[in-house]
Chains A and B, each alone.
Chain A
Amino acid sequence: MRAFVVAVFAFLYLPIALVVLFSFNAGHHASEFTGFSVQWYGKALSNPFLVEALKNSLFIATTSALLAAFCGTAAALGLQRVGARTRALFDALLGAAIVVPGVVIGISTLVALVQLFAVVNPFLASVWPTDQPPRLSLGYGSIIAAHGLFSMALVTMIVGTRLASLDRNLVEASSDLYATPLTTFHSIVLPQIMPAVIAGFLLAFTFSFDDFIIAFFVAGAQTTLPIYVFASIRRGVTPEINAIATIVLAASVLLVLLAQWQLGRRKPSP
């Protein structure tokens, strides 16, 4: 039994450990460790294509996570005020959105966007006053929209859980102390759910930053970091790729830990 557990964890984490190890390899080969060096990090960060992809990823992750945190929180607040049946329906839909495979989200988002563009672009062309109407196409916007939509479900769930554990008495006490509903919201409710909103933002950021599948479908001509890594692997695994992977890994772990810490903060007392 113990050996089995060790085997499982070895299978899970050994490849990751090797990637981290070989990112510090002085040699060129991915299979032979010849000495410690950080040269591949330097090489990776001086590669303009890679830096461009990293910038894209950071921008997309930040924007989509902000969008998700805002819309998801609003949705969670709204869902508090609907009837039990509507609530159950939306909870189920949210759960479904999270378990639907990335491939399906990718394809369906792509199809939906292409259909939308096919309608909107001619319309824009017909109403635009000048000869150069804006043309909607796949790119930043579509990745942000797709990631934002998925992450919104995540944020809605996290914030919703926090709201459910929020002491209703606090809201009543605030109201009893002459605070209007708006004041109660920003002085009492928002501070109480803020850790969940921040945690939701961080998880949304991590998801977007790491996502390859959905981005691959809707990216158009844009390149995000995971797409760049995927493309360069076709030319063979270089220690440079290991270095990027290690950076992404470290950032993701850090963000997830931050999110966990946020969720554990100021738990409403029982």
Chain B
Amino acid sequence: MTAVPDIEFRAVTKRYGAVTAVSGIDLAIPPSAFVALLGPSGCGKTTCLRMIGGFEQPSEGQVLIRGRDMAGTPPYRRPVNMVFQQYALFPHLDVEDNISYGLRQARPRLSSREISQRAGEALSMVQLAGYGRRKIHELSGGQQQRVALARALVNKPAVLLLDEPLAALDKKLRTDMQIELQNLQREIGITFVLVTHDQEEALSMSDFVCVMNGGRVVQLGQPSEIYDEPADLFVADFVGKTNLVSGKVAGLSGDLVDVALADGTVISARKRVPLSRGEAVSVSLRPESLSLSAPGSGSLKGIVRNRIFLGSTAEYAIEVPGIGSLLAKADHVIGQGNLFRPGEPVAIGFAAGAPLAFPHAKNNGTNQREDQNAEILS
């Protein structure tokens, strides 16, 4: 991509006293993309967003917006707008005055006709036409969310920043807003940067997911890449559901490793980083990559402990002696009564290439620091 990135981080570090919230991040966010910054609380994602908005200054490094270094540029001179987590709508102004707030600051001044026309368009865009004279406290949470969106987008920013915008909504509204946000982003064509700790939200809405942990970017990629090819154990575990099984490297052949599990079973897994023979590893097994069959075939044997029937799929908790409990997810096909019952013995097989082997988790230090950050930043 030759275009200038909308947002670029160059070796950005942010410290609060002794605590490092963001350490040495390099990141380029391509134009017109929907990007999610995903990570657990305290991973530095909100700090990154606030550095783009100008509410925090990096301790080291540069934040560039459309190629311009933003050092020393206050929030009110940056071509970005933010949708705040609690919306931060002005309670003493009505809906239209909230939306036109940014337009009124433009110099040279816009005519009041243009201001009210653009505010009206923004209201229609978020399907709140006719709500202009309502008071903020008369609106529902979902409507307030839309007003916050309109208030930011009416200014036609280069980048829209969204700080956990859906966290305060109930599940049904959240799903609706996810679709609406995606549609809006495609319509308007500007870059959206979304901060979220909800991996489902990140995967479902964005073109690119930037997974963060302990103040660093762990992986940047398309949602399917992040899910299918996680860069490390943290990503594999954090994004989507997975089973982590410990073992030792028994053999190496190209991209593949043979891993001896605790019960002696050897399974073939792909590796994402170099591994050596005898090294302790964790194997990530996605629930949907496990196939269940009647005893006799498959690699592992276990007993169904629990079954959760979800309609199109069923989830099974399977007790495997010597290994522990595994979660398996199977499609349910109408008419084929292939549901296993609790107590029934089953054989477990793996889709080829699905198991991924990672060096055994040793990053306790990272996790501890992360917890500290979470405490201080919350």
B308 at the interface (CB under 8 A from A): no
Which residue in A172, A177, A192 is a CB contact (below 8 Å) of B101? A177
CA distance in complex: A187, B100 (Å): 13
Chain A residues in 8 Å Cβ range of B84: 169, 172-173
Q: Which residues of A sit under 8 angstroms from B92, Cβ to Cβ?
A: 191-192, 266
Cα A172 to Cα B81 with chains together (Å) = 11
A179 touches B105 (CB 8 A): yes
- Name the residue on B nearest A184 (C-beta): B76
Closest beta carbon of chain A to B299's beta carbon, Å? 53
Taking a contact as CB atoms under 8 Å apart, the answer to whether B88 and A183 are in contact is no
Residues of chain A in range 65-114 having any CB-CB distance to chain B below 8 Å:
none
A173 to B88, CA, bound (A): 6
Beta-carbon contact of A177 and B106 below 8 Å:
no
In-complex Cβ contact of A180 among B76, B90, B91 (8 A): B76
> Can you list, as one digit per residue, whether each of B132-165 has a CB less than 8 Å from chain A (1) or not (0)?
0000010000000000000110010000000000
Are A175 and B88 in touch, CB under 8 angstroms? Answer: no
Q: Does A58 contact B (CB under 8 A)?
A: no
Complex Cα spacing A167 to B91, Å: 10
Give chain B residues whose Cβ lies under 8 Å from the Cβ of A175.
Answer: 54-55, 74-76
B230: CB under 8 A from chain A? no
Whether the Cβ atoms of B137 and A177 lie closer than 8 Å is no
- Which residues of the other chain, B, contact A269 by a CB distance below 8 angstroms? 91, 137
- Minimum Cβ distance to chain B for residue A162 (Å): 13
State whether A173 and B76 are in contact (beta carbons under 8 Å apart), knowing that A266-B91, A268-B91 are contacts in the complex.
Answer: no
Q: Is B81 within 8 A of A176, CB to CB?
A: yes
Nearest CB of B to A84, in Å: 13
A103 to B155, CA, bound (A): 59
B90 touches A170 (CB 8 A): yes
Inside 8 A of B5's CB, which chain A residues have their CB?
none
Partner of B106, one of A170, A172, A178: A178
Q: Is B102's CB within 8 Å of the partner chain A?
A: yes
B81 interface neighbour in A169, A177, A179, A188, Cβ under 8 Å: A177
Q: Give the nearest-CB partner of A194 in chain B.
A: B92
Interface size on A, residues (CB 8 A): 20
CA distance A173 to B99 in the complex (A): 12
Q: Cα distance A269–B74 when bound, in Å? A: 27
Question: Would you call B20 an interface residue if the criterion is a C-beta within 8 Å of the partner chain's C-beta atoms?
Answer: no
Contacts of A170 in B (CB 8 A): 88, 90-91
A102 to B81, CA, bound (A): 53
Contact for B76 among A169, A179, A192, A268, CB less than 8 A: A179
| CA–CA, A268 and B137, complex, Å | 11
Query: At the interface, yes or no: A137 with Cβ under 8 Å from chain B?
Result: no
Contacts of B82 in A (CB 8 A): 172-173, 176
Q: Which of B56-99 contact A (CB under 8 A)?
A: 74-77, 80-82, 84-86, 88-92
In this assembly, does A174 line the interface, its C-beta being within 8 Å of a C-beta of chain B? Answer: yes
The contact string, 1 if C-beta is below 8 Å from chain A, for chain B 219-260, is 000000000000000000000000000000000000000000
Q: Give the residue of B55, B91, B155 whose beta carbon is less than 8 angstroms from that of A177.
A: B155
B53 located at the interface, meaning its Cβ lies under 8 Å from any Cβ of chain A in the complex: yes
Contact status of A177 and B86, CB under 8 A, knowing A192-B92, A266-B92, A269-B137: no
Check if B88 sits within 8 Å of A179, measured CB to CB. no
Q: Is B74 a contact of A177 with CB atoms below 8 Å?
A: no
Say how far B49's CB is from chain A's closest CB, in angstroms. Answer: 11
A173–B90 touching, CB < 8 Å: yes
A177 vs B86: C-alpha distance when bound (angstroms): 16
Q: A173 to chain B: which residues have CB within 8 Å? A: 82, 84, 88-90
- Chain B residue nearest to A183 (CB atoms) is B105
Complex CA–CA separation, A176 to B102 (angstroms): 8
Q: Which residues of A contact B89 (CB under 8 A)?
A: 173
Chain A residue contacts of B88, Cβ below 8 A: 167, 169-170, 172-173
Residues of A within 8 A of B105 (CB): 177-180, 183
- Complex-state Cα separation, A268 to B101, whole angstroms: 19
A175 → chain B closest CB, angstroms: 4
Question: Which residue of chain B has the shortest Cβ distance to A168 in the bound complex?
Answer: B88
Give the distance in Å from the alpha carbon of A170 to the alpha carbon of B81 in the complex.
14
A268 to B92, CA, bound (A): 10
- Least Cβ–Cβ distance between A165 and chain B, in angstroms: 12
6 intermolecular pairs with C-beta atoms under 8 Å apart: A169-B84, A169-B86, A174-B90, A176-B80, A188-B90, A269-B91
A-B pairs with the 10 shortest C-beta distances?
A: A177-B102, A169-B88, A178-B105, A173-B88, A175-B75, A191-B92, A178-B76, A176-B82, A177-B101, A175-B76
- 10 further A-B pairs in the complex, CB-CB below 8 A; given A173-B89, A176-B53, A180-B105: A167-B86, A172-B55, A172-B82, A176-B152, A177-B151, A178-B102, A178-B106, A180-B76, A187-B101, A191-B92
